[in-house]
């Protein structure tokens, strides 16, 4: 989720293949997840699995990287785009637009 994670700053992102992004969705989330996992397990998206293994391996092996991501993530919540101050600014703007 690039809206939340900054790649190599607050976490690691993977490239999601187009076929997965366009995976048919149903109105039943439980069935959806099961069929999605089945779809990936059939080996249709080896590159996705390879990316996940690679990125998770980096996190497992590099404690400094994990600590940096934790520190940067916390900073983002305390002072960055997810801070209460930023949330209040956005709410104020919304209220001002409504009142105009």
Check: pTM over 0.75? Answer yes or no: no
Average pLDDT over residues 2-12: 88
According to the model, what pLDDT value does residue 49 have?
A: 84
**What is the chain's Cα-based Rg?**
19
Which residue carries 């080996």 as its tokens?
A: 43
Residue 34 is predicted with a pLDDT of 77
Asked if residue 32 lies in contact with residue 25, where contact means CB atoms within 8 angstroms, the answer is yes
At 46-94, the pLDDT tens digits run 888 889 999 999 999 999 999 999 999 899 888 888 889 999 999 999 9
Percent of the chain beyond pLDDT 90? 40
Whether the pLDDT of residue 100 is over 90: the answer is no
Using CA atoms, how far apart are residues 93 and 100, in angstroms rounded to an integer? 11
């Amino acid at each position: 989720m690039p809206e939340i994670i900054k790649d190599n700053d607050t976490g690691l992102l993977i490239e999601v293949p187009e076929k997965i992004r366009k995976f048919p969705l149903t109105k039943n989330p439980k069935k959806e997840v099961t069929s999605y996992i089945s779809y990936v397990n059939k080996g249709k998206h080896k590159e996705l699995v390879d990316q996940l293994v690679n990125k998770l391996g980096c996190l497992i092996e590099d404690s400094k990287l994990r600590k940096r991501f934790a520190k940067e993530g916390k900073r983002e919540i305390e002072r960055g785009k997810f801070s209460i101050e930023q949330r209040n600014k956005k709410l104020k703007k919304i209220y001002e637009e409504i009142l105009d």
